[in-house]
Structure 1
Amino acid sequence: MPRIASSCSTTGSASCSNSSAAGTCCLEAPGGLLLQTQFWDANPSTGPTDSWTVHGLWPDNCDGTFESNCDSSRAYTNLASLLSAQGASSTVSFMQTFWKDINGDDESFWEHEWSKHGTCLSTLKTSCLPSGSPRGAEAVAYFQTVVKLFQTVPTYDFLSSQGITPSSSKTFTLSQITSALKSASGFTPTVNCDGPNLNEVWWYFHVKGSVIDGSFVPINAPSFASNDCPSSGIKYLPKSGGGSGGGGGGGTTPPASGVPASFTVQALRSSGSTTGGLLSGGTWSTQTLATYKTAASGSGFTLTTSKGPCAVSSSTLTCASGNSASVFTAVSSGGKTLLAFNGSTTFSSDAVPSGTTQQKVFVGSGHSQTYQLVVAS
């Protein structure tokens, strides 16, 4: 079932363009400054080891103030069932992996975020919904939009691409972190710390049209926002793995026999040397490897990363939110477990990656550099 749609144009004025404008079904106000907020929880470890997790989507007023808990009559509960009943089970599965409560009560966390922040969005009032929309349809749209926005700002990948990865011993300056995020994304967010530990990022947007299906415009952190981190000595601690509460691996079906529930993927070249491996988008790189999660599918399994399901299309491997997952298999060879697609364990690229360079991964030996992909738990 497709999600509901608005009848709003996405080519008009963006939210916050007129501070005196009243909220309508097609103009988000007064909370037109939208914050997509993310957590990095290392102690206790929560969520995937190679991804930040969702905190929420907050409609802040354009002057640094905000409203909260705007409609108690729509403080829906049992949101996982509500979303699944309205055709958003894939959103629930994503949330179960990437929208985690530090105490393990994901459902209560989602309910809190919707009740406190979602009910304050003017474009999600029930009067703005298409005729005949089921109860709670605006909450379904809210969670779908939050997931969509979260996937556009992969903070872990942004930092990793600039050489900043979790470490038990290294420290970073505030300038290093904000500059890295600016270089990778084109925009400067707000970063927050718990003492010396990096633990939250806020990304800012305006929206043209409705939050349901509007055009989100990323912007720099506004002048009244401030970073809550020390200027130096910031720790970006590694997670110990897994996630807490709410369903072991995002509520997916069990992985195929002989393959771990999650693993990294190394590239084994024909020379016998291992050179890097796969990042979360499905590319070959020498940077910090991504975590791949498995789910059984027939005689094989599907793969998912923080970017989304992994698929092979036109012989090219990608992992992205819009993919329809392909089915892979595993082959034991020389004491190693190799990934295979349509029976082939050979993959290739146009060049060997180095530094921050990434190479597309193709199935088969049609490109100059051939290798095999090794499951490394």
Structure 2
Amino acid sequence: MTQALSLRGLFSYASNLLSQIPAALVDSTSAPLPPSDVQPYYPLSGAPSCPLDGPMSCHNSTPIADDSCCFVYPGGRMLLTQFWDQKTHAGGAETDWTLHGLWPDLCDGTYDQFCHMTPQFNNITAVLEHYGQDDLIEFMNRFWLAASGSNSRLWQHEFNKHATCINTLAPACYGELHTPGMEVVDYFTRASALFRMLDTYSALERAGIVPHSRRHYPLVDIQTALEKFSGGRVVLRCTGRRDVLHEAWYVYFVKGSLQSGEFVPAQDLGREGNAGNCAPWVKYLPKIPREDEL
């Protein structure tokens, strides 16, 4: 079973970095562009060309000078964060964990937010539509869901709070071919591709851990299953009395740029990186059917 899961992950990785280039991209700052104004962009194609043997984020022994577009800094500890929310899911998707964000923590586990390395955008959906990313929008509306308010507002928050702190998304890293919004397409394309590799539900199911209304599971069993599956450290967070499983954060370093670099599973959580708050035994509750499914 482990081998099958690994093959699935490899297939997802390949298809998402090269082929998970859904249609094209889109621009948007404050005023949304006309829906008919579609400007095709091949996701990740405008990213800088980086050497294969470059340093890994948070592992350089000397400062990076000339290759700043090929080295994620200072937020080089990347967290792919997922939610298991009883009420937040697409209709019929009782086995879906949902994507919360891709966060660039600092190397010690602390973090910056709302930075100025890349511009902020006020209408993510309009940007993606402008660049023709209909497939990506469809995927995000299934798996990148807001617990309250619109999905687009959540995407706006995630980009402006976190993606603006990722230096390789800076317009200067795209050179003369840059048009506003390319960085938006690349951020959401890469986050979605990484999420596709991390099927949390299946990883837990294969360890005999499935949603149940009354059963409690040892936290160490959940942690072990997910870390064996991903190959790196995972932070778990809970709600209720810290006994209801709610979040899984997969921790990575990046070798190269965010757009085209290799995500390497982290083997440590950093000085302040362990934000886990769960009790030793936790519940993993089933999804609650939406009203339109009853």
TM-score (norm 1): 0.61
Distance, in Å, in 2 between the alignment partners of 1:68 and 1:19 is 25
| Aligned partner letter, 2:54 | G
Q: 184-193 vs 140-149, which deviates more?
A: 184-193
Aligned ranges for residues 13-28 of structure 1 at < 5 Å?
A: 13-18=55-60, 21-22=63-64, 24-28=68-72
- Match for residue 89 of structure 2 among 34, 46, 50: 46
Count of paired positions: 244
- Match for residue 34 of structure 1 among 78, 88, 94: 78
Structure 1 residue 223: deviation in Å? 4.4
Q: Does 1:165 align with 2:210?
A: yes
RMSD: 2.2
Indicate the residue corresponding to 1:198 in structure 2: 245
Indicate the residue corresponding to 1:143 in structure 2: 188
Structure 1 residue 180: deviation in Å? 1.5
Q: Does 1:106 align with 2:151?
A: yes
User: Greater strand percent: which structure?
Assistant: 1
Aligned ranges for residues 120-159 of structure 1 at < 5 Å?
A: 120-159=165-204
Distance, in Å, in 1 between the alignment partners of 2:174 and 2:289 is 41
Structure 1 residue 188: deviation in Å? 3.0
Q: Is the 8 A contact 1:19 1:62 kept in 2?
A: no
Q: 16-25 vs 94-103, which deviates more?
A: 16-25
CA distance change for structure 1 residues 191 and 86 in 2, over 3 Å: closer, same or farther? same
Indicate the residue corresponding to 2:283 in structure 1: 235
Give CA-to-partner distance per residue, 1:176-214, whole Å, 9 cap, x none: 110121233333301000122100010011111111111
Q: Is the 8 A contact 1:38 1:200 kept in 2?
A: yes
CA distance change for structure 1 residues 104 and 63 in 2, over 3 Å: closer, same or farther? same
Distance, in Å, in 2 between the alignment partners of 1:22 and 1:12 is 10
Q: 3-state SS of the aligned residue for 1:76?
A: coil
Show structure 1 runs of 4+ deviating over 4 A: none
Q: 3-state SS of the aligned residue for 1:181?
A: helix
Report the identity percentage: 36
| Aligned partner letter, 2:238 | C
Indicate the residue corresponding to 1:319 in structure 2: none
Q: 3-state SS of the aligned residue for 1:179?
A: helix
Indicate the residue corresponding to 2:16 in structure 1: none
Q: Is the 8 A contact 1:162 1:184 kept in 2?
A: no
CA distance change for structure 1 residues 190 and 73 in 2, over 3 Å: closer, same or farther? closer
Distance, in Å, in 2 between the alignment partners of 1:97 and 1:10 is 34
Q: Does 1:65 align with 2:110?
A: yes
Indicate the residue corresponding to 1:333 in structure 2: none
Q: Is the 8 A contact 2:76 2:107 kept in 1?
A: yes
Structure 1 residue 133: deviation in Å? 2.1
Q: Is the 8 A contact 2:118 2:169 kept in 1?
A: no
Q: Give structure 2 stretches of 5+ with no counterpart.
A: 1-40
TM-score (norm 2): 0.77
CA distance change for structure 1 residues 174 and 152 in 2, over 3 Å: closer, same or farther? same
- Match for residue 2 of structure 1 among 38, 42, 49: 42
Aligned ranges for residues 296-311 of structure 1 at < 5 Å?
A: none
Distance, in Å, in 2 between the alignment partners of 1:170 and 1:223 is 32
Structure 1 residue 229: deviation in Å? 0.2
Q: 3-state SS of the aligned residue for 2:176?
A: coil
Aligned ranges for residues 291-370 of structure 1 at < 5 Å?
A: none
Structure 1 residue 87: deviation in Å? 3.0
Q: Is the 8 A contact 1:159 1:165 kept in 2?
A: yes
Indicate the residue corresponding to 1:85 in structure 2: 130
CA distance change for structure 1 residues 45 and 76 in 2, over 3 Å: closer, same or farther? closer
Distance, in Å, in 1 between the alignment partners of 2:226 and 2:245 is 13
| Aligned partner letter, 1:15 | S
| Aligned partner letter, 2:59 | S
User: Greater helix percent: which structure?
Assistant: 2
Larger radius of gyration: 1
Structure 1 residue 7: deviation in Å? 1.2
Q: Give structure 1 stretches of 5+ with no counterpart.
A: 249-261, 263-376
| Aligned partner letter, 1:231 | P
Q: Is the 8 A contact 2:253 2:266 kept in 1?
A: yes
CA distance change for structure 1 residues 214 and 152 in 2, over 3 Å: closer, same or farther? same
Q: Is the 8 A contact 2:72 2:256 kept in 1?
A: yes
Q: Is the 8 A contact 1:123 1:210 kept in 2?
A: yes
Q: 3-state SS of the aligned residue for 1:36?
A: strand
